[in-house]
Amino acid sequence: MEVPIASAVLVVLLFSRIRGLDRAAPSRFDRSLPFFLLVSLCVLAVRLPRIVWSGELNVDESQMIAQAMRYLAHPVPWRDVDGTTGGPLDSLLLCPALLLGAGATWPTARIVLWACNCLTLVFLYRALRPFGTRKRCQLALMPAIFFYAFAVNANFAHYSSETLSCLLIAVCLALLSTERQASRPSLLRPLLLGLAAGATPFAKLQAGPVALFLVAVGSIIIVRPADAARASRPRWTGLAALFAGVLLIPGAILGTVVASGAARDFWHSYVLASVAYAGQEGVARKLRNLAYLFMAPADFRPFAIGVALLLGVSWLTLRARGSRLEERMRRPLLVVAAQCLLTLICIAIAGKSFLHYALLLVPPLALLAGLGWLAATAPGRDQGGADVAPVTSRPLLAALAVAMALQIVMPARYLRAVATGVLPRGHAPVSAVAQSILSVREPGDQLSVWGWVPAYYVETGLVPATRDAVGHYVVSPGPYQDYFRNRYLADLEGSRPAFFVDAVATSMFGWGWSEKEAHEGFPALAEFIDRDYRLWKSVRYSPAGTPVRLYLLRARAAKLGLGAALDTTIGRAP
């Protein structure tokens, strides 16, 4: 019942923001704190079915949970944990919750996701606030609020590598907006801007060019401030604070990596292998994948259409008023439009059609639509220089209501998904592999999975025995495969985990893998497994396919008193 009620509250809040534009009387929800408390609680209630479900929505969230588990005992990025194309900060963000006693589970990661999404909305509001009233800024955010609340597709509902990077980008935008409008110079704002921008590539390498762009914009604002009183004051201190912030987090991470002897691992994994990964697709395929983000019948399309409609209403309003776009609005709009374009380029370069890439577009698109709306409805001047009053006409409100009405599709679709069981809730069945491990595990045990099933780490609570929670670079053919395989085997020989799982099997997630990518395709690894491990159980997910194979350390098998015939084939797992 909490989902329909919270959905209704958000819909009422949307239309109350529209209706309130022609009313001067303030409302208690005009204030930022009550508004965002209500929005955050409603979003939490709406997403509760997804949050509490104890099952995997996407392999990426399982990978980052598993990496967070390993970081608690092995804290050095790339030497101890290799997130492949994801930065270390995504998994490290989960560590405080684990240290405070939260389980290394999917609900824990989704609560962190909810908190990050709410903070992203707050900082986007702070970016808009210097340009308009509370009511108008809150209304401008409603498409983004509805997107975060009512996304049905799992790509937008799981903890992903875009979660932290979107928050950091929103922080940068808020600081840029505040710095541009401030009447007095500050060293704190440039420092914080540098910190957020410098951290972004270590949350999402793909967002690195966006962070660099925002640093460049910040530098211009510091050197050429809009306020005339600030123009005569020294600017080098602000630039020094900005670039000190930019270097601080990368310096701390890379300094630790270099001091730990993992510089070569960082270079091969985060730079060389990422470049090779992005170069797997041609230009035509990359453009098709980019178009798919907008054409796919998923939740991002209603959000993008809502943004386009809001921009359209804003443009028509400007034309109807005969008002010109003021200088204080023109440059911010150009900056955010350029950021949208740059983000599209960054998404296209990756060359993949993963829908969660579109999350990087949410902050700049929300800000672009908001700035356009605020520019169209704020007091201004016409072409002759005469003052133009702010817009509160009923025709505008009617047009805005029509433009926003599309957002109602999202809660309706979400409620239908909850009612029909498309969005499951409660307890998910534990895999047969995890059940077998849980039946004999001991304190301190570790697990290594050959393949791409990090859910086994989450289900069993066992820490990855190597730095590779998934076998992307280890299993997949590529120019650096030998490097990653030799490194993996060295980690495995050093840790000798109690359990080894070969999950390159039929019906399991993979990267176009076939039987030749099973662990026997790596002769040195096969020799190690044959010598030190015993095949314990096989789980067949397809009657005619290859099974997932669970191996037990020989010393553990002897301790458990298991005989020579250890292999037990289990049918399709629940």
> What mean pLDDT is predicted for residues 381-408?
60
User: pLDDT grade, residue 359 (50/70/90)?
Assistant: very high
The pLDDT of residue 422 is: 80
Amino acid at 84: T
Does 52 map to a domain? yes
344 plus 461 within the same structural domain? no
The pLDDT of residue 1 is: 58
377 plus 442 within the same structural domain? no
pLDDT value at 327 more than 90? no
Find the domain containing 436 and state its range: 432-570
pLDDT value at 416 more than 60? yes
pLDDT value at 189 more than 90? yes
User: pLDDT grade, residue 147 (50/70/90)?
Assistant: very high
362 plus 439 within the same structural domain? no
208 plus 312 within the same structural domain? yes
The pLDDT of residue 388 is: 46
pLDDT value at 569 more than 90? no
* Boundary residue ending a domain (397, 419, 441): 419
364 plus 399 within the same structural domain? yes
327 plus 379 within the same structural domain? yes
Does 425 map to a domain? no
468 plus 564 within the same structural domain? yes
The pLDDT of residue 387 is: 40
55 plus 131 within the same structural domain? yes
Overall domain count for the chain: 2
Q: Is 353 helix (H, G, I), strand (E, B) or coil?
A: coil
Would you say 157 and 136 are in contact if contact means Cβ atoms under 8 Å apart? Answer: no
The pLDDT of residue 574 is: 40
Residue at token pair 């993979």? 510
Does 44 map to a domain? yes
Would you say 403 and 313 are in contact if contact means Cβ atoms under 8 Å apart? Answer: yes
Distance CA 141, CA 145 (A): 6
pLDDT value at 384 more than 60? no
Helices marked H in 378-477: 394-405, 409-419, 432-440, 455-460, 472-475
Each residue's pLDDT tens digit, 493-539: 999 999 999 999 988 888 788 888 999 999 999 999 999 999 999 99
The pLDDT of residue 382 is: 44
The pLDDT of residue 513 is: 87
Pairing of β 380-381 and β 387-388: antiparallel
Distance CA 357, CA 359 (A): 5
* Boundary residue ending a domain (395, 419, 443): 419
Does 166 map to a domain? yes
Highest-scoring range by mean pLDDT, 224-233, 248-257, 416-425: 248-257
Q: Note the pTM of the prediction, 2 decimals.
A: 0.92
* Boundary residue ending a domain (377, 397, 419): 419
Does 424 map to a domain? no
Residue at token pair 């987090």? 249
The pLDDT of residue 385 is: 43
- Angle of the 327-350 helix axis to the 362-377 helix axis, nearest 10: 160
408 plus 466 within the same structural domain? no
pLDDT value at 390 more than 60? no
415 plus 438 within the same structural domain? no
Does 546 map to a domain? yes
Burial category of 549 from C-beta neighbours within 10 Å (exposed 0-12, middle 13-18, buried 19 and up): buried
Does 426 map to a domain? no
Which secondary structure element, helix H or strand E, spans residue 534, and what is its range?
A: strand 533-539
Each residue's pLDDT tens digit, 56-109: 999 999 999 999 999 999 999 999 999 988 899 999 999 999 999 999 999 999
Each residue's pLDDT tens digit, 230-248: 555 567 888 999 999 999 9
156 plus 278 within the same structural domain? yes
390 plus 439 within the same structural domain? no
The pLDDT of residue 298 is: 73
The pLDDT of residue 566 is: 53
pLDDT value at 33 more than 50? yes
